[in-house]
Every structure is written in structure tokens, then in C-alpha cells.
């Protein structure tokens, strides 16, 4: 390394409030300016990032990570893709051995069915009303 090289750092704010300077490269004098030499940089998600949860996007739900439309938003998807993934959801829901995924599959199937209804010009499915006091079992 050149003796006249200056360290280049970034400030990393830690959860405990401290700030740590992390070296990312060197600035080497070059005539009237500097040449920046960076090391390998990787940006990894942290607990502080507000990444969207898996299965969603800024516009809503996305298809699961299989098939030709994996990760594609459900809204605006082709009828063929909607039917393909709906079939997969129904297959999973009918398999008792896959019960640990049933809640997730129900949510996905509801989103797919809502998009199918929207594309066919049908009114959205109404949510059932909450139970009344008369329906509470005692």
C-alpha cells in the first residue's frame, strides 16, 4: 500500500447508539485529487431495514418461489398463472400432511381468487360479519 494513501471509512450506527468507523478502502493522491480504491463491499439486510416480508411487494401479494411466475405480483397476472397457482394452493390445502402451510396457502388463495374476480369484473368477496353476542357458545 502507498504510504501517502488515506483511509476511507463509513460510519456504522449500532443499535446501542455507538458509531463505528469501518474502513472500506483508501484514497491515493493523484495530481490535484485522489483516486479512490475500494475493497469488496456487501450490503446485507439488517434488523433496521424495512424490507417487505416474503410474499409481498409494494403493490401487494406475489406468487410463491416456484413456477414460471415466481415472485411476480398477483395483481395483473395472466388468467393461466392465476389458475396454476390457485390449483397448487388447493392441492396443498387438501393435503393434511402439509397442514403447517395451510394458513399461508389460505391467504395466498384468497389473494388469487380476489384477482380472478377482479379480472372477471365480479364484485370483491365480502368478509363474513363478525359473530354477534347470540352466536357466542357458552
pLDDT digits (tens, 9 = 90+) for 40-69: 766 665 444 444 444 444 347 889 888 999
Residue 131's pLDDT is 62
List the one residue out of 58, 61, 66 whose CA is nearest residue 85: 66
Provide the whole-model pTM: 0.49
Q: Are 113 and 87 in contact (CB under 8 A)?
A: no
Q: Tell me: the pLDDT tens digits for 65-90?
A: 889 998 889 988 999 999 999 999 99
Give the Cα separation of 109 and 102 in Å (integer). Answer: 10
Residue 21's pLDDT is 83
Q: Tell me: the pLDDT tens digits for 105-131?
A: 998 998 999 888 888 886 655 555 666
* Lowest mean pLDDT segment, chosen from 12-21, 24-33, 55-64: 55-64
Give the Cα separation of 57 and 127 in Å (integer). Answer: 23
Q: Are strands 60-61 and 6-13 parallel, antiparallel or unpaired?
A: unpaired
Amino acid at each position: 500500500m502507498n504510504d501517502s494513501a488515506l483511509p476511507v471509512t463509513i460510519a456504522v450506527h449500532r443499535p446501542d447508539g455507538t458509531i463505528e468507523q469501518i474502513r472500506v478502502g483508501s484514497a491515493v493522491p493523484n495530481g490535484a485529487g485522489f483516486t479512490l480504491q475500494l475493497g469488496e463491499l456487501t450490503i446485507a439486510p439488517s434488523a433496521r431495514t424495512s424490507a417487505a416480508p416474503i410474499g409481498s411487494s409494494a403493490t401487494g401479494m406475489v406468487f410463491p418461489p416456484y413456477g414460471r411466475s415466481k415472485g411476480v405480483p398477483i395483481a395483473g397476472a395472466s388468467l393461466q398463472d392465476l389458475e396454476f397457482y390457485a390449483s397448487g394452493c388447493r392441492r396443498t390445502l387438501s393435503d393434511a400432511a402439509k397442514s403447517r402451510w395451510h394458513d399461508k396457502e389460505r391467504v395466498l388463495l384468497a389473494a388469487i381468487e380476489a384477482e380472478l374476480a377482479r379480472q372477471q369484473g365480479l364484485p370483491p368477496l365480502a368478509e363474513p360479519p363478525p359473530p354477534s353476542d347470540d352466536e357466542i357458545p357458552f
